[in-house]
Structure 1
Amino acid sequence: MKTHWWLAATAAMAFGVPVAAQAPRATPAAAVPQGRLPEGVRPTAYRLELTVLPDAKAFSGRAEIDVTLAKAQRSFFLHGLGLTVSRVVALVDGAEVAGTYAEVDPSGVARLDFGRALPAGRTTLTFEYTAPFMTGSEGLYHAKVGDDWYAWTQMEPIDARRMFPGFDEPRFKTPFTLGVTTRKSLKVFANTPEVRTTPAADGTVRHEFAASRPLPTYLVAIAVGDFDVVENDAPGNAVRPKTLPYRVIATKGQKARLATAAAEGPKILALHEDYFGSRYPFEKLDQIAGPVMQGAMENAGLITYGDTLLLLSPDAPASQRRSFGMVVAHEMAHQWFGDLVTPMWWNDLWLNESFAEWAGNRVGEIWDPKLGTGVAQMAEALDAMETDSRSIGRPIRQPIERNAQIASAFDAITYQKGGQVLTMVERYLGEDKFRDGVRHHLTRFAYGNATAEDFFASMAKGSGDPGVVPLFQSFVNQTGVPVVTVRPGSGGGWRLTQARYRPIGVAAGKPQRWTLPFCVRQDADTRCTLMRGPGATMRLSGAGVAVPNAGGAGYYRYSLPAAQWSALTAASAGLPAREALAFADSLYADFAAGNAPFALVVEATRALAAHPDRQAATKLPEWLDTLAVTTLSPEAGAGVERLVGGLYAPRLAQLGLDPRRGAYAGEETDRAQSRRAFAGLMATTARDAGTRATLAKAAERAVAGDADALDPTYRSLAFAVAVQDRDAAFMERLKTQLAKSEDPLFRSNALAGLMAADTAEKVRRALGYAQDAGGGLQTLERQQLMNGLAARPVGRDILFDLFRTDWDRMTADVPSFRRSRLPLLFASYCDAGKAAEVDALFRPRLKTLGANELELNQSVETIRICAALKTARGAQMEAALR
């Protein structure tokens, strides 16, 4: 699953009261399993029959589950959430034994009780039930798009229990056979090929699908509606000689925007097959889009995406093409890592997501190297280091004992940190040995489950290097970012010391060590040493400036003496992009830890402004912008504006800025992306009046109906500027255009514009749009708008007051999977008093939210770290920027 964690999809929480044949015996709360189900009952196959009419409020189902009981028992637990079960029977030796069903925990734990003990051995459980459609992307959900209703599924991590009763854990992989009955005018898609349709006298049709390969419940998927479909079978290749059925699917009216996915998807798939050395592991591949899906989900054979990820117009901006390539590659990689080989439990989610992140970025870079996917991955990994630098955190491999903890595993630590660690290990082993280890693992556990220990053993065996095991373990099993302190040694060499990186405000803890491959480049000469203890030495023999973290492959930071920082700063504009990003991150981190002076950060900002890669050139200004919003006085904030404006005005002037549609058609991709990045800096960080006027005028003309006034590349930026610089009437026109548009990218751009509201009156107006269920915005869009408003101080303050005064309303529609993340909306405060207020608001309510405390603790600590930095180094920053 690929998602953006600052967004949250809306869904109504529906906990139906089950109807049982008899009242169940009371279950003491302590006896209800809060995590893994007890051993003793194992499913071996599912047969699901569903009646799905997307415009209805509920659906009905019949589930048959073949199970094996280790011993005779009368009662046991399974999963179900919001299901109204009218009948439960167990078939034993041809005879039915009646049972009762009760949901005994809000996380979806249910209990079955039977009139007599079921014997050890095989039993078939049968359930008849109804359940409500969800309105956000969890379980079986529906949405109205235009005049038509559609239904999709989103089961990960533990929402399959909303669609059918079962054993909703990844260790239970079984075949699934699905039948779906719906109106004859609608199409139905599932994990496997359709094998037959059977019309009924009432005008409905039953669609039957082939039995699946063994799957966990979270990968089961269906979609029902009057979809547009484009077929373009994936041609055979050296790994898969036969053609593979391949389709792309979207809501009615979107067929033209499916052309890119239809043409490019098979190419991306072939790149994975070549790397993994094995054919795509399922019978067909459908990719389907929907306007309520947040991110994407790797359902075997039926991958689902948010509309903007799969639906591209011919003039799609480079940023959307990069997201398409990266996310499609990410989800296809999951067909091997996650679907073919599945973790035993959620503590090893990283075996899915870290690998999909690494493989997706790798293939995205090969698919179109001009888009800069590999450098973008590095930038995201550096952002993950910010999370990983706190004292309150979690390791990549997180122990999970309760269902409420599962959602916390889907974060930057699993995705971005995990992906960067894999990049580092690949660099240490070499590409060929790393690939051999991956292939060995996939062969060993095909269509089964594996643990981290299994994976470590596979990599050691396949690569022929047992030393990879402690390397993996040291990064996977402990929290924190290593920092390598470099000091001059004898004979021109370096003395290296490793420790956990701790910024100001994070108290010292117990010593930590990593098995860390530290690499340095001097011109074309790269040398590495594997640090196993607290210290090491390195002798340099090349010429030129020595650059730590060669290639930007390592997951660590480095600290240098001031003279070496200055030397590296002077050379920074000529570094490869990934090394330049690692340099910018390490320098700023050294300042935030109380070492490097802020003047060096300003000096590096000036030097990197000339870097040819836009992401390297803009990294430090992004941090300065954050400081201006959270930490600095208005006078120092104005200094940031002057600094950034002076540096990037010439670069933008050199490129020019004409926001009209097609003004730069056919231009080289990197040049186009650089112009967009520099225009963004000039408009938002520097607040350059000329740039803002150009963009706002284009936005006004576009919203007034001039289709050629504004290129998609600049829409979100121009709309944001116009929302801030024009009156409320512009917001009303923009919202009206958003509500009636059928272009997913335009809707996303308009939404981003409304999120930019920066006065109390405009924020409240935007909140009105977010809270209007009949205003033409999808549920996901309304939740995104509300959360996006918290990114600016005025919106954050208004939202915080609303949470304090109207808690029930503000939290009622947030799906369970997202509730733990609500405190992170307020992590941009920079005052210890506000940290206490956030804690006081959320902590007493965590239990009623069904939320984990990790994100609240992280939010509170982030606020306190910012306050500590302001106290310790605020005067230095103010002096440098005023």
Structure 2
Amino acid sequence: MILPRRCLLTTALLAATGLATAAEATVPTGPLPRTVVPSEVALQLTIDPAQPRFSGHVELSVDVASATDTIWMHGKGLNITRAVYMPRNGRNQVLTAQEVDVSGVLKLTAPLAIAPGQGVIAIDYDAPFGELQGAYRVKPDGRDYVVTQMEPLGARTAFPGFDEPSFKQPWRMTLIVPDAAVAVANAPEVASTDLDGPMKRVEFARTQALPSYLIAFAVGPWDVAAGPDIAANGERSTPIKLRGIAASGQGERMRYSLANTPAIVTALEDYFGIPYPFAKLDNLAAPDFWAGAMENAGLIVYRDSLMFPDETSAVGRRQAFWGVSAHELAHQWFGDLVTMKWWDDLWLNEGFATWMGNKIHGQLQPDAHTDRGLLEGALGAMGADSLASTRRIHEPIKDFTDIQSAFDGITYQKGGATLNMFEQYIGAEPFRTGIRNYLQAHARGNATSADLIEAVAAQSDAPEAVAKAFFSFIDQPGVPFVRVDLDCSGATPALLLEQQRYLPLGSTASGAGLWGIPLTVRYADGATVRTQKLLFDGKQGRMELSAATSCPSWVMPNAHGTGYYRFALAPQLQSALSDAFAQLDEREQRVYADSVTAAYGAGRLTPSQLLAALPQFASASVRQTVTAGMYGTEWMAEYLLADDAARDAFHAQVADIYRARLQQLGMTPKAGEPDDDALLRSSLVGFFAETLKDQAVRAQMDRAGRAVLGLGGDGALHADAVAQDLRGTALAVAVQSGGKAAFDAAEKHFRASQDAVLRSQLLGAMGSTRDAALNERVRALVFEPGLLRRNEIFPAVGGQTGDRATRPALRAWTDTHFKEIEAKLAPAGAAVVQLYAAGMCSEAEASTLQDKFAARMQDVEGGPRQLRQTVEAIRMCAAQVQARKGQPLKFPMH
């Protein structure tokens, strides 16, 4: 509750209690000391979205463990006008507040020692609105809205507090806002009181225990769309109120997402055996949002495009809603109900939600084949995980610059793949029992990796061994690499196994590493295909194929593609598996393709050998296998060929590999076709039109794109003139071929649109030309006041990274405007490094990048690691080029 102000008196009585340890004199840039711990937070904010600043009053009920004259908290960019400590027993002390670290560490100093016991820290302050973090403003339709993004460090820019996951307590939120404004927060509204003047006070119910990064609120002329109640389910006998929050006039566009949200919540309740943990559920469609979505308890914020699909939308948009919504709703249990203690366990939130979101999405939408998506994410993560500068899933987080680095493929995709691998090894039902036990044991509190691993390993046949194996995947970096041979010389056939770390060509990492690999193999025993498992934890090992009656004709070392590891077969086994390609299931075909592309990446195959494998992949039934290795041909074209004529000839031969598949699909959608066909068509059309520059495909896309832009017609936008899955490619080709007239039309339509998907496609098209003057115009849009949403910066200029002719001007612009661009992208400002480095592939360029950005990235969230990894990737690219010199690019005979 809000405590009354007391007289500000001082006394010497507390001095005799002694002070906290001298260690507290050091600024805590990592976890805060536990000398002072909050038990409840009462936060009152006065917010007028039309103003540049807001003000607040916060009262933190705290427990003081030992006497101290210093309270360490967090607050960044706050103008603190009053701070006082009010003990339950004793007299108040005025506190002196200082921001003492660039990360936003706040030091509150009392004139006398604060005695152990309970009290309240009361602070008055005001602050500016942030830039896509903390409390920030958006203006999509000429009106001002306020929305929030607290994770990872935005909360400290919105209010002073204890801004780390282990401080988890109830919150009482009150918002004082303009009379006409809608105000929403984590908990249900309980009272609204008209105040003198044009403002009202909106009070919200006390929340469950939450960390600061899950606090959320929004203020402005929002539409509030009522969704269907989420019906009672199991132990939950009361329906859950579901609402959609969208910018004015946009609420009706949430009909599809609201209609389909209840099924996701119910499926998650059924899996966890625990009711939805909060009092209500609001889905907010944010007009500008740097992340895809954020799992705030009871008030999930999404990019508006994720909330606005309907039954007629592009396949990718509909699948994005289901996938992201299932991910964020899974967080309501994993992350919100049970929260990590520190950022080193971020994977407990994000790896779990990646795995669980795919599971629930696939359960409810089988045609999405989300198991393939989970596998593709794992294979993608292996790219970063192959760097010497990669990190562990469970990576120590020393200070704020490390936190943003943890939001990457290692946390999300490798974390999710590791959970999937051990679920498959332990068994789905025992694994679920472990998950339920974990949630019940730590509900409304915090937990660690060890807590989760102990809970799931306990359900296995060998808890100690499984736990040790699980830790081997989260506590060391790298991709396990298993060499496999076959020994049929004895009475029982056996696989000969050897493990090390996978190293790509040019890697400086050590090949050392020992994992407890849940190895599952399938092999052909005559006409029977058998499966066998082994927890392989030695440098070398032998797997006796005890059920085999003959020497296997082929062996798949990663059965069903469920393992997070790569493999290499002895030559005769590799040939046999290639011959048996059609007998492999769809995930096995994909990991077989990965074994080939990984061998190429490690220098064990030549470019010609990789090119020879592509036709087999292109014939596969699953789109992810069809395109495996496809984009690697563009690397060959750029770095191994000397001129445009050679590249054109090379591209024509690449096109011959995939043309039959594109012709089979056709260039236009077919009624009732599988979603995967639409997605594969989109990938192939984009590849043919923009990478291979295939004239026939470009001509068709040019006509479609011109129709969308209204060129040669009425000049109006005709957004449905081409299938939505192909519209981005069509617009890009039309602007590239149509020059200034097409660019002008695209810009006109962009300025008139509030549709986030269409805006992004128009911007991408405008930024995809090789015309220097037009590229300069696109870059100028970044700094035009109020025009671009901040998450549109990369769609606008990202196309200029893809062509060697446009990169120099983009780099010069980035150099000139580095501070402004980094600030606009914050807290993802480290991405500027990738923007600048695109196309670099030499030792000299790696050194130049290091020298230019080392100081720039020093205090940027995630900056130091981003720079290390980018520099390493450039050097590995250079090593690839050096190793491939003189190797021909020969295509298979057709």
Q: Same fold by TM-score, threshold 0.5 exceeded?
A: yes
Amino acid at match of 2:50: D
Give the secondary-structure state (helix, strand or coil) at the position aligned to 1:718.
Answer: helix
| 1:303-324: CA deviation from partner (whole Å, max 9, x where unpaired) | 0001111111442111111111
Q: Which moved more, 1:648-657 or 1:83-92?
A: 648-657
The aligned residue for residue 14 of structure 2 is none
Shift of 1:463: 4.5
The aligned residue for residue 13 of structure 1 is none
Q: 1:533/1:464 Cα in 2 relative to 1: closer, same or farther (>3 Å)? A: closer
The aligned residue for residue 498 of structure 1 is 499
The aligned residue for residue 773 of structure 1 is 785
- Scaled by the length of structure 1, the TM-score of the pair is 0.92
Superposition pairs of residues 772-791 of structure 1, within 5 angstroms? 772-774=784-786, 776-791=787-802
Please tell me whether residue 377 in structure 1 is matched to residue 374 in structure 2.
Answer: yes
Amino acid at match of 1:352: N
Choose from 619, 623, 631 the match for 1:610: 619
The aligned residue for residue 480 of structure 2 is 482
Q: Which moved more, 1:833-842 or 1:28-37?
A: 28-37
| 1:524-573: CA deviation from partner (whole Å, max 9, x where unpaired) | 42222221101122345386532221111111111123443333334435
Amino acid at match of 1:865: M
The aligned residue for residue 824 of structure 1 is 834
Shift of 1:812: 4.1
Amino acid at match of 1:122: Q
Conserved? CA contact 1:315–1:712, under 8 Å? no
Choose from 643, 661, 666 the match for 1:656: 666
Q: 1:568/1:795 Cα in 2 relative to 1: closer, same or farther (>3 Å)? A: farther
The aligned residue for residue 472 of structure 1 is 470
Shift of 1:675: 2.4
Choose from 857, 865, 886 the match for 1:854: 865
Superposition pairs of residues 167-178 of structure 1, within 5 angstroms? 167-178=162-173
Superposition pairs of residues 287-306 of structure 1, within 5 angstroms? 287-294=283-290, 295-306=292-303
C-alpha distance in 2 between matches for 1:629 and 1:770 = 29
The aligned residue for residue 35 of structure 1 is 30
Please tell me whether residue 453 in structure 1 is matched to residue 453 in structure 2.
Answer: no
Conserved? CA contact 1:239–1:274, under 8 Å? no
The aligned residue for residue 220 of structure 1 is 215
Choose from 416, 420, 435 the match for 1:419: 416
Q: 1:707/1:490 Cα in 2 relative to 1: closer, same or farther (>3 Å)? A: closer
Q: 1:81/1:819 Cα in 2 relative to 1: closer, same or farther (>3 Å)? A: same
Please tell me whether residue 403 in structure 1 is matched to residue 413 in structure 2.
Answer: no
Superposition pairs of residues 696-711 of structure 1, within 5 angstroms? 696-704=702-710, 705=716, 706-711=718-723
Shift of 1:471: 1.5
Q: 1:105/1:830 Cα in 2 relative to 1: closer, same or farther (>3 Å)? A: same
C-alpha distance in 1 between matches for 2:689 and 2:105 = 51
Please tell me whether residue 532 in structure 1 is matched to residue 543 in structure 2.
Answer: no
Conserved? CA contact 2:30–2:400, under 8 Å? yes
Q: 1:336/1:354 Cα in 2 relative to 1: closer, same or farther (>3 Å)? A: same
C-alpha distance in 1 between matches for 2:143 and 2:379 = 43
Give the secondary-structure state (helix, strand or coil) at the position aligned to 2:144.
Answer: strand
Shift of 1:126: 0.7
The aligned residue for residue 9 of structure 1 is none
Q: 1:567/1:256 Cα in 2 relative to 1: closer, same or farther (>3 Å)? A: farther
C-alpha distance in 1 between matches for 2:151 and 2:720 = 41
The aligned residue for residue 813 of structure 2 is 802
C-alpha distance in 2 between matches for 1:586 and 1:34 = 43
Choose from 305, 325, 336 the match for 2:322: 325
Shift of 1:181: 1.1
Please tell me whether residue 868 in structure 1 is matched to residue 864 in structure 2.
Answer: no
C-alpha distance in 1 between matches for 2:634 and 2:736 = 17
Conserved? CA contact 1:219–1:300, under 8 Å? yes
Shift of 1:651: 2.2
The aligned residue for residue 17 of structure 1 is none
Shift of 1:205: 1.4
Amino acid at match of 2:688: M
Shift of 1:349: 0.6
Q: 1:673/1:528 Cα in 2 relative to 1: closer, same or farther (>3 Å)? A: same
Please tell me whether residue 240 in structure 1 is matched to residue 251 in structure 2.
Answer: no
Please tell me whether residue 576 in structure 1 is matched to residue 592 in structure 2.
Answer: no
Q: 1:425/1:71 Cα in 2 relative to 1: closer, same or farther (>3 Å)? A: same
Give the secondary-structure state (helix, strand or coil) at the position aligned to 1:272.
Answer: helix
C-alpha distance in 2 between matches for 1:728 and 1:150 = 35
Give the secondary-structure state (helix, strand or coil) at the position aligned to 1:756.
Answer: coil
C-alpha distance in 2 between matches for 1:521 and 1:174 = 50
Shift of 1:625: 2.6
Shift of 1:636: 5.7
C-alpha distance in 1 between matches for 2:387 and 2:838 = 13
Q: 1:638/1:554 Cα in 2 relative to 1: closer, same or farther (>3 Å)? A: farther
The aligned residue for residue 751 of structure 1 is 763
The aligned residue for residue 68 of structure 1 is 63
Shift of 1:474: 0.5
C-alpha distance in 2 between matches for 1:468 and 1:760 = 58
Q: 1:761/1:878 Cα in 2 relative to 1: closer, same or farther (>3 Å)? A: farther
Choose from 106, 122, 125 the match for 2:121: 125
Please tell me whether residue 514 in structure 1 is matched to residue 525 in structure 2.
Answer: no
Conserved? CA contact 2:403–2:862, under 8 Å? no
Give the secondary-structure state (helix, strand or coil) at the position aligned to 2:631.
Answer: helix
The aligned residue for residue 669 of structure 1 is 675
Q: What count of residue pairs does the alignment treat as equivalent?
A: 852
C-alpha distance in 2 between matches for 1:609 and 1:878 = 18
The aligned residue for residue 730 of structure 1 is 742
Conserved? CA contact 2:823–2:829, under 8 Å? no
Conserved? CA contact 2:351–2:415, under 8 Å? yes
Give the secondary-structure state (helix, strand or coil) at the position aligned to 1:61.
Answer: strand
Shift of 1:630: 4.8
The structure showing larger relative contact order (alpha-carbon pairs under 8 Å, at least 6 residues apart) is 1
Shift of 1:628: 2.8
Please tell me whether residue 50 in structure 1 is matched to residue 45 in structure 2.
Answer: yes
| 1:200-223: CA deviation from partner (whole Å, max 9, x where unpaired) | 121211110000000000000001
| 1:361-394: CA deviation from partner (whole Å, max 9, x where unpaired) | 1111112121232212211211110100011111
C-alpha distance in 1 between matches for 2:699 and 2:381 = 35
Amino acid at match of 1:601: L
Conserved? CA contact 1:827–1:860, under 8 Å? no
C-alpha distance in 1 between matches for 2:677 and 2:818 = 47
* Structure 2 residues not aligned, in runs of 5+: 1-8, 11-21, 711-715
Q: 1:228/1:630 Cα in 2 relative to 1: closer, same or farther (>3 Å)? A: farther
Conserved? CA contact 2:640–2:884, under 8 Å? no
C-alpha distance in 2 between matches for 1:637 and 1:566 = 31
Give the secondary-structure state (helix, strand or coil) at the position aligned to 1:606.
Answer: helix
Q: 1:506/1:489 Cα in 2 relative to 1: closer, same or farther (>3 Å)? A: same
Q: 1:551/1:344 Cα in 2 relative to 1: closer, same or farther (>3 Å)? A: same
Percent of counterpart pairs with the same letter? 37
Shift of 1:677: 2.6
C-alpha distance in 1 between matches for 2:63 and 2:126 = 26
Give the secondary-structure state (helix, strand or coil) at the position aligned to 2:95.
Answer: strand
The aligned residue for residue 3 of structure 2 is none
Give the secondary-structure state (helix, strand or coil) at the position aligned to 1:506.
Answer: coil
Choose from 76, 81, 84 the match for 1:86: 81
| 1:263-315: CA deviation from partner (whole Å, max 9, x where unpaired) | 11110111111111111111111111112113110000000001111111442
Superposition pairs of residues 65-214 of structure 1, within 5 angstroms? 65-92=60-87, 93=89, 95-134=91-130, 136-214=131-209
Conserved? CA contact 1:771–1:782, under 8 Å? no
C-alpha distance in 2 between matches for 1:29 and 1:42 = 15
Shift of 1:644: 3.1
Q: Which moved more, 1:174-183 or 1:580-589?
A: 580-589
